[in-house]
Amino acid sequence: MDRKAFKLFCDTVRLRSFSRGAAANHVSQSAASQAIQQLESEPGVALIDRRRCPLVLTEDGRIFLDGCEGLLEGLIAFIEQPEVIEKILTHLGLWPAPAHSPPVVGYPVPSAPQRVTPRK
């Protein structure tokens, strides 16, 4: 399971459509359906009642949605912490390295911290 699949599931449910959920995540409708089927196959439960239109969640799907939303909110909150942003930027070579470390060649080094806004 990966973050992109969780977001795709949440968007598909929120928009009540595989095609609109796929478009919101810049993937094909087929790719969205396959990603959600993969999410369903791991625990072996149906998350969405595919016989109904507009899209309707199963009871397991409602539970899974609550967990996905909480996971994504927690991940965003974690990533937005200044010390986490600094570590990520340092790892990418975009933040000044400690004095004992050589600078990474080829990346601009900002002179002041910059806020990074995660994509939704």
Residue 73 above 60 pLDDT? yes
Q: What is the pLDDT of residue 2?
A: 79
pLDDT band at 32 (very low <50, low <70, confident <90, very high): very high
102-to-91, 96, 105, 107, 114 alpha-carbon distances in Å: 13, 10, 9, 13, 21
Rounded to an integer, what distance in angstroms lies between the CA atom of residue 18 and that of residue 9?
9
Structural domains of the chain in order of their starting residue, each with its CATH number: 3-79 (1.10.10.10), 82-113 (no CATH)
Q: What is the pLDDT of residue 72?
A: 86
Rounded to an integer, what distance in angstroms lies between the CA atom of residue 37 and that of residue 29?
12
Could you tell me the two tokens for 73? 């909110």
Residue 83 above 90 pLDDT? no
Selection from 19, 20, 21 nearest residue 11 by Cα: 21
Q: How far is CA 64 from the centre of its chain?
A: 15
pLDDT tens-digit series, residues 12-31: 999 999 999 999 999 999 99
Q: What is the pLDDT of residue 51?
A: 86
| Segment 68-90 mean pLDDT | 81
Rounded to an integer, what distance in angstroms lies between the CA atom of residue 40 and that of residue 48?
9
Could you tell me the two tokens for 44? 């072996």
Q: What is the pLDDT of residue 116?
A: 60
pLDDT band at 107 (very low <50, low <70, confident <90, very high): low
* Residue predicted with more confidence, 79 or 55: 55
